[in-house]
């Protein structure tokens, strides 16, 4: 019997140096797309997929994340008195119930694999999801929900995958495909950040995973990989050799790399245009900016 995926790990220990000076005083995950922080998009996606336990792997300076998910009695009281029911409803959607969320410290920046390993005692012997909040995915059905539904059929380990241009392969873990079944591929191997000429395919791993507890046992070995860090993809690759139970899932949706400034700006525009109350004004502004640039040329 396949066990349901009800736990998710959120690695949020990074310093966010690409967004300095903004991240000098606030965690990158609190930066907003329109009016919601990046971490809220990740939490909402997890909830839609049936996740009940949320495990944050943090570091120093991330206390604002803990505060964000706490109740705000004074603010709630103020909104209630002023009759602002919609705002109150929005505010309450950010609250996490006692016991649903846990925080673990990653004391040294030793890589994504190490960050996931920090949550091992809370994961125990269950399958679990990993969500990287930097990867924001706009989709009709949330990406992790798509994966959980597919995982119910396959079991094993599953990574979200998307096609990338060959010259971008050195920025990703890339799949070596054994069998292509459309939305799903069985995986023969994984290569972390290969040179374009050495990439086994153009199918890259992005920040959504469903993993077996065996991954934690592989991470226990603490072997350094690409960049001298403990790589999650290396631990997954070991499962291919031992169990042949690793799959790539071509999710339906558009992924934005909000770990980069360009990706963050693109996501801001896309999510802004998707909002009915902002669409007309924002699209008119963008059109005027394009026309001004063309005139200047």
Give the phi and the psi of residue 165 in degrees, each rounded to 5: -65, 145
CB 179 within 8 A of CB 167: no
What's the whole-number mean pLDDT along residues 75-83? 86
Rg of the chain (C-alpha set):
20
DSSP string, 158-192: EEEEEE--GGGGGGSEEEEEEEE-SSEEEEEEEEE
Q: 171 in a domain, yes or no? A: yes
- What's the mean pLDDT in 189-202? 85
Instruction: Decide if 70 is inside a domain.
Output: yes
- 96: containing domain: 7-259
Distances (CA, A) of 21 to 12, 86, 128, 129, 132: 18, 33, 34, 31, 22
Binning pLDDT at 50, 70 and 90, where does residue 285 land?
A: very high
In a domain, 273, yes or no: no
**For residues 71 and 172, what is the distance between their CA atoms, to the nearest angstrom?**
37
pLDDT, one tens digit per residue, over 251-277 is: 999 999 999 999 999 999 999 999 999
pTM of the model: 0.88
* 69 falls within a domain: yes
Spatial CA neighbour of 233 closest among 294, 296, 175, 293:
175
pLDDT greater at residue 160 or residue 86: 160
Distance from the Cα of residue 5 to its chain's centroid: 16
Tokens linked to 296: 């200047």
* Domain membership flag for residue 158: yes
Work out the pLDDT band at 8, boundaries 50, 70, 90: very high
Q: Tell whether 295 is covered by a domain.
A: no
In a domain, 154, yes or no: yes
User: Residue 225 is part of a domain; what is its CATH number?
Assistant: 3.90.550.10
pLDDT band at 198 (very low <50, low <70, confident <90, very high): confident
Report the pLDDT value the prediction gives residue 72, as an integer from 0 to 100.
80
What is the tally of structural domains in the chain? 1
Residues 120 and 72 sit within 8 Å (Cβ to Cβ): no
**Residues 192 and 234: beta-carbon distance below 8 Å:** yes
- Residue 39 within a domain: yes
Mean of per-residue pLDDT scores for the chain: 88
């Amino acid at each position: 019997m396949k066990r349901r995926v009800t736990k998710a790990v959120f690695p949020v220990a990074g310093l966010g140096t690409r967004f300095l000076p903004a991240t000098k005083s606030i965690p990158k995950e609190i930066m907003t797309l329109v009016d919601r922080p990046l971490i809220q998009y990740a939490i909402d996606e997890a909830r839609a997929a049936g996740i009940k336990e949320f495990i944050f792997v943090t570091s120093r300076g991330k206390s604002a994340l803990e505060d964000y998910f706490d109740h705000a009695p004074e603010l709630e009281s103020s909104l209630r008195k002023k009759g602002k029911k919609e705002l109150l409803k929005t505010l309450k959607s950010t609250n996490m119930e006692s016991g649903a969320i846990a925080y673990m410290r990653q004391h040294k920046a030793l890589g994504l694999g190490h960050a996931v390993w920090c949550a091992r005692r809370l994961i125990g012997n269950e399958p679990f999801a990993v969500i990287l909040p930097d990867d924001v995915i706009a989709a009709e059905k949330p990406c992790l929900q798509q994966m959980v539904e597919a995982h119910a059929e396959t079991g094993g380990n599953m990574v979200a995958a998307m096609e990338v241009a060959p010259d971008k392969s050195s920025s990703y873990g890339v799949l070596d495909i054994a069998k292509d079944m459309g939305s799903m591929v069985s995986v023969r191997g994984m290569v972390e950040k290969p040179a374009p000429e050495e990439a086994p395919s153009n199918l890259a791993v992005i920040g959504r995973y469903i993993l077996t507890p065996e991954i934690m046992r592989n991470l226990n070995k603490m072997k350094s990989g690409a960049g001298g860090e403990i790589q999650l993809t290396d631990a997954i690759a070991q499962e291919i050799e031992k169990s042949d139970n690793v799959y790539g899932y071509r999710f339906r949706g558009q992924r934005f790399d909000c770990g980069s400034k360009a990706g963050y700006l693109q996501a801001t525009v896309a999510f802004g245009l998707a909002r009915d109350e902002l669409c007309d004004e924002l699209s008119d502004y963008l059109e005027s900016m394009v026309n001004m640039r063309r005139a200047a040329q």
